[in-house]
Amino acid sequence: MSFGNPAGLWLLLLIPLLILIYILRSRYENKHVSSTYIWQLSDKFLKQKLPLHRFTRLLLFLLQLALIALFALAAAKPSVEDGFGKDYVVLLDCSAGMQVKNEEGVSRFDRALAEIEELSKELSGGHTLTVICAGQKASYLIKATDSSIKVKTALEDAHCKFGVCNTEAALALAAEAGAELSAPQVLFYTHQDYENVDGITVKNLSSDEWNLSFLGLSAEKEDKLTRFTAKLVSHNRDTELTVGLKIDGKTVDAKSLSLVKDTPTELLFEYTEQADFDRAEVFADTKDGLKEDDFYALCPNRDRCKVLLAGTTPFYIEKALTALGSCEITRISSFEDAPLSGYNLYIFDGIAPEELPSDGGVLLFGTEKMPDGLVCSSFKDEEGRLSVDEELAHPLFANVSPFGCYVKGYTPLMGTAEWTFPMYCGGNAVFAIKNSEKEHFLALCSFDLHDSNLPLMLDFVALMGNIVTENLPSLVKSRDFCCEDTVSLSLPFQATQLYLEEPNGEVRTLSFSEECANAPVSIPGIYTAVVTTIDEQGVYADFFVHIPEGEGEKTVSEPLSLLLPEKEEESARIKTRGIWSTLALVLLALLLIEWGVYFRDRY
C-alpha cells in the first residue's frame, strides 16, 4: 500500500489525545435518589439483561479510536498495488554518444543492451516489455512481449548509429505504447542527464569516459600562405596530445598542446608549400572512447567552370568572369582558333557559329543568330532604360537590379512559351532564356554590351556569376555534412552512372532521375561521388561527414516528460474510488454504532 498524501497520517496524533481525555475524565457522579433499594434492584436486573454492560465505556473508547484511525487513513489517500505484473517501456538511445567506450572497451550502448536483457528475465506473471530505438528516427525494436528469448533475439539486431537522438519522436512512441498498456514503467537508457524528469526513469550509462572530439576545421588563403584553424575539445579529462595536419593524404605538420577538460580549444597551422588542395585533415592518435570523432576534414569546392569566350572585343565579359575567380577562360576571336567542344559554358559576343555547341551552356550577346523558337523585330536605334521583371523572380537575375542602366539601341525579342523574358527595355524584351530541364542552358541578350553601361555595374558581375553557377559542374555544392544527413547531388548533362565511395571503401551505385540524386550518409569520414557521362568523362567530388557536435558531451539540461492517459495510470493500482467508498461506509457504520452504544448507555 502507498499513500497519495502521507501528511494525513499526522491525524493519528489525536489517538494519544483521546487516551489522555479518558484518563483525566472523572468516572463518578454524585446523584441524590429517594431510595437506594430501588436503585440496587434496578442495577441487578440490568446486569442480568446486559452482562457486557461493564464494557460499554471501553467499547465507546475503541470505536472512537477506530474513527480517528480511519479518518487519518482517508486523509492519507491510500492505494494498493494491483498484484499483477508491470509493463515496461524502454527507450534506447541509439545516438553517437552511446558508442563511447570505457577503459575496458565496452560501449555505453552494449552496457544498455546488457541491462535490458537482464530486465527481460523478469518477464513473468503478466510482465511485458517494449523497446523503442531512439536514433535520428524512432522505431519499435520489439513491442509488448513477455518472452525474454524474443527480447534477446531482438537486441541482437539493435544497432547504434552516429547521428543524434530524436527524443521527441521516441517519447511520442512511448506515449503510444503506454496508451495500450497498464501503467507502464518507462525507462530511458541514455548517456545524458536530464532535469525536470516527469514519468520517466533515466538510466545514465555515462561514467566519465574520456573522449577527444574535433569540432571543425577552416582555412584562409593569403597569397601562397594557407592558415588552418582546428577546433577540438577533451571531454571529462585534462590531457596533453599531438595533433597532425594532412594535406592531400600527406602529413605536413604536427603540434603538441594541452587541453582543459570540457573546454573547446583552437589550434592554428600555417602551410606555405601550395595554396590549392583537395583535402585537408587534422587528426590525433589517441586511445579515447570514440575513434570516429578523432579527426576532421576539409574538402574545398574546387570545381571550376571551363568557359570558351568568343568575340573580337569581349573585354567587359572577360573582366567579370575573372572577378568571379571560378572560371577557366579560353578566349578566341574566330572559330578556327579552338574546337567548339569540351567546355561547360560558351559565350559568344557579337559573333555566333553556324551550329551551337551541345555539350555545355550557351550565352549569346548582340548576335543576329536566333535559336529555334525565338524571333526578333527590327532594330530600334533609340536609347532606353533597362528593367527586370521582379514578379518573374528568375534565379539568373537574383541580386540583379539594373537601376540607372541604359542601352543606345536594341532589338525586341519574341518567342514561344518555352522561352522566358526576364529583362526589358522600353517595354520590349531584350533578354531570353530557354526553359528546358533536359537540355543545356541557352540564353540570348539582343543588345550590344558596348552600347550599354550595364557592364560597368556590379549587377553585371552578379548576372555573370549566376550564369556561371548555373553551368558549374559541381556534384555537391556543400562539402560538410552530419551523419544521417541526406546529400543532394546535381548530375551533369547526359549522366549515365553514379557511384558513391564511402569512408570504409564500400562503393554504392546510386539511382537518379532528372539529373539529380539523393544519397543518405551515416558513417563519418570522407566520401567521394563519381559520375560518368555518355562521352565517358568522369566528374568527381569529395565531401566530409562528421558526428554531430555535442554528441560527446555528458550532460544536458532540458525537461523530459511523458504524459500517459489518466486511465492507464489508475489501472496499475486498485482504483481509489473503491477505497473511498469502502472507507465512507465503514466510518458511517462506526458512527452509527458509537451513537447507538452511547444512547443505550445514557438512556
pLDDT of residue 60: 65
Q: Across residues 57-66, what is the average pLDDT?
A: 69
Residue 481 has pLDDT above 90, yes or no: yes
Which whole number is the average pLDDT over 179-198? 83
pLDDT of residue 12: 73
Position 572 scores a pLDDT of: 41
Of the given ranges (96-105, 267-276, 282-291, 450-459), which has the lowest mean pLDDT? 267-276
User: Band of the pLDDT at 532, cuts 50, 70, 90?
Assistant: confident
Q: Which fold has domain 87-208+554-571?
A: Rossmann fold (3.40.50)
Q: How far apart are CA 129 and CA 86, in angstroms?
A: 9
Check: CB of residue 74 under 8 Å from CB of residue 169.
Answer: no
By three-state DSSP, how is residue 293 classified?
helix
Q: What is the mean pLDDT of residues 480-507?
A: 88
Gap between the Cα atoms of 182 and 81, Å rounded: 12
Is residue 265 pLDDT above 90, yes or no? Answer: yes
Q: What is the spatial distance between Cα 479 and Cα 545, in angstroms, rounded to a whole number? A: 8
Reported confidence tier of residue 591, pLDDT bands at 50, 70, 90: low
Query: Which CATH number applies to 305-471?
Result: 3.40.50.880
C-alpha dihedral sign at 244, 216, 552, 542: negative
d(CA 475, CA 457): 31
- CATH superfamily placement of domain 211-298: Immunoglobulins (2.60.40.10)
Residue 78 is predicted with a pLDDT of 67
Amino acid 66: pLDDT:
75
Please report, for residues 67, 326, 341, 343, 466, the alpha-carbon distance to residue 472 in angstroms, rounded to integers and kept in the order given: 89, 9, 16, 10, 10
pTM of the predicted model as reported, rounded to 2 decimal places: 0.62
Categorize the per-residue pLDDT at 558 as very low, low, confident or very high, splitting at 50, 70 and 90.
low
Instruction: Check residues 494 and 100 and name the one with the higher pLDDT.
Output: 100
The residues pairing with 511 across neighbouring beta strands, listed in sequence order, are: none
pLDDT at 46 > cutoff 60 = no
Count Cβ atoms within 10 A of the Cβ of residue 267 and give its class: 0-12 exposed, 13-18 middle, 19 or more buried.
middle
Average the pLDDT over 195-220 and give the result. 88
List the one residue out of 498, 508, 505, 507 whose CA is nearest residue 476: 498
Average pLDDT, the chain: 83
The more confidently predicted of residues 34 and 157 is 157
Residue 275, pLDDT score:
65
Grid cell of 572 as nine digits: 496499475
Window from 133-142, 388-397, 564-573, 590-599 with minimum mean pLDDT: 564-573
- The pLDDT-based confidence of 291 (bands split at 50, 70, 90) is very high
Confidence of residue 302 (pLDDT cuts 50, 70, 90): confident
| HEC profile of 340-379 | CCCCCEEEEECCCCCCCCCCCEEEEECCCCCCCCEEECCC
When comparing pLDDT for 65 and 334, which is higher?
334
Q: What is the pLDDT of residue 86?
A: 77
Residues 428, 589: Cα–Cα separation, whole Å: 101
The listed range with the strongest mean pLDDT (73-77, 233-237, 272-276, 474-478) is: 233-237
| pLDDT > 90 in the chain, percent | 45
Using one digit for the tens of pLDDT, what is the confidence trace for 90-102? 999 999 999 999 9
Q: How far, in Å, CA of 145 to CA of 147, rounded?
A: 6
> What whole-number distance in Å separates Cα of residue 380 and Cα of residue 447?
10
pLDDT digits (tens, 9 = 90+) for 7-20: 777 777 777 876 77
**pLDDT, position 222:** 79
- Who has greater pLDDT, 112 or 31? 112
pLDDT of residue 324: 85
Helix extents (H) in 425-542: 458-471
pLDDT bin (cut points 50, 70, 90) of residue 573 is: very low
Looking at mean pLDDT, say which of 65-79, 338-352, 503-517 comes out highest. 338-352
Instruction: State residue 488's pLDDT score.
Output: 87
C-alpha 286/C-alpha 237 separation (Å) is 13
Give the pLDDT confidence of 338-361 residue by residue, as tens digits. Answer: 888 889 899 999 999 989 998 889
pLDDT, average across residues 80-94: 75
Residues constituting the chain: 603
Q: What is the mean pLDDT of residues 529-551?
A: 83
Numbered ranges of CATH 2.60.40.10 in the chain: 211-298
Fold observed for domain 480-546: Immunoglobulin-like (2.60.40)
Q: Is 201's pLDDT higher than 80?
A: yes
Residue 410 DSSP class = B
Which triple of cell numbers denotes residue 499?
A: 557511384
C-alpha cell at 298: 576539409
**Is residue 142 predicted with pLDDT exceeding 70?**
yes
Distance CA 110, CA 98 (A): 9
Task: Give me the percent of the chain exceeding a pLDDT of 70.
Answer: 80
Task: Report how far residue 181's alpha carbon sits from residue 291's, in angstroms, rounded to the nearest whole number.
Answer: 41
CATH 3.40.50.410 in the chain: give the residue spans. Answer: 87-208+554-571
Over range 238-247, report the average pLDDT: 95
- pLDDT, residue 62, reads 72
The mean pLDDT of 197-208, rounded to a whole number, is: 86
**Residue range 517-531: average pLDDT?**
92
The sign of the CA dihedral 185, 190, 191, 195 is negative
Question: Residue 575's pLDDT is what?
Answer: 46
> Can you say how many angstroms the Cα of residue 178 is from the centroid of all Cα atoms in its chain?
24
